[in-house]
Amino acid sequence: MAVEKFTVEASHIMMFARSVGDDNPIYYDEEHAKGTEPGSIIAPPTFAQASAQFDPNYGLRPKVGGDGWFGSGGKLSGAKPREGGGGGGGSGGGGGLHAEQRFIYHRHLKPGDVLSATTKPGKSWEKQGRRSGKLVFSETVTEYRDQNDELVITAIGVGVRTERPVDQG
Partner 1 sequence: MALNASELNVGDTYTERLVEDLKRTQIVMYAGASGDYNPVHTDEVFTTKVAGYPSVFAHGMLTMGMTGKMLTNYVGDGRLAEYGVRFTSQVFPGDTLDATATVTAVADGVVELDVSTVNQEGVEVLKGSAKARVD
Binding interface with partner 1 (CB under 8 A): 12, 15-16, 18-22, 24, 26, 36-38, 42, 44-46, 49-53, 58, 60-62, 69-72, 76-77, 85, 90-92, 94, 97-105, 108, 156, 164-166, 168
Distance CA 77, CA 153 (A): 36
Closest approach, Cβ 149 to partner 1, in A, equals 21
Closest approach, Cβ 26 to partner 1, in A, equals 5
CB 78 within 8 A of CB 92: no
Which residue lies nearer to partner 1 by CB, 70 or 145? 70
Which residue lies nearer to partner 1 by CB, 101 or 116? 101
Closest approach, Cβ 102 to partner 1, in A, equals 3
Which of 106, 121, 118 lies closest to 143 in space, CA to CA? 118
Which residue lies nearer to partner 1 by CB, 8 or 42? 42
Distance CA 138, CA 87 (A): 7
Closest approach, Cβ 125 to partner 1, in A, equals 14
Q: What is the dihedral of CA 96, 100, 106, 112, to 10 degrees?
A: 40
Q: Return the number of other C-beta atoms located less than 10 Å from residue 119's C-beta.
A: 20
